[in-house]
Amino acid sequence: MAVKVRVPTILRTHTGGSKLVEGTGDTLGALFVDLDTRHEGLRGRLVSGEGAGELHRFVNVYINDEDVRFLGGLDAKLSDGDEVTILPAVAGG
């Protein structure tokens, strides 16, 4: 079950400079755990708190362009071929 993950510039220190990486997992939380085995420290930048934790306040994550906070957050379900995009929160207006 492969999922493509787009990584923002600010987090590419964990991916050897790669903007696109692949991972697996039934949920977003599981995907981050999987990514962390190859991209050490990445999960710690995305998830805060003890145990399963929760998404960092200033990180936005999208599954196929939909904000995961409206899909269950770290419990959001993933399917084969999904695209995950990670972005820092920025202002509009």
Do you know the residue count of the chain? 93
Containing 26, the helix (H) or strand (E) segment is none
Question: CA 20 → CA 48, 73, 83, distances in Å?
Answer: 23, 21, 10
Instruction: Return the residues of window 65-84 that contact another protein according to CB under 8 A.
Output: 65-67, 69-70
Residue in 41, 52, 58, 72 binding another protein, rule: CB under 8 A: 58
Q: Should residue 92 be labelled a site residue for another protein when binding is judged by CB under 8 A?
A: yes
Nearest-angstrom CA–CA distance, 5 and 68 = 14
Q: Should residue 91 be labelled a site residue for another protein when binding is judged by CB under 8 A?
A: yes
Minimum Å gap between C-beta 69 and another protein is 6
Q: Which residues bind to another protein, rule: CB under 8 A?
A: 8-11, 45, 56-60, 62, 65-67, 69-70, 85, 87-93
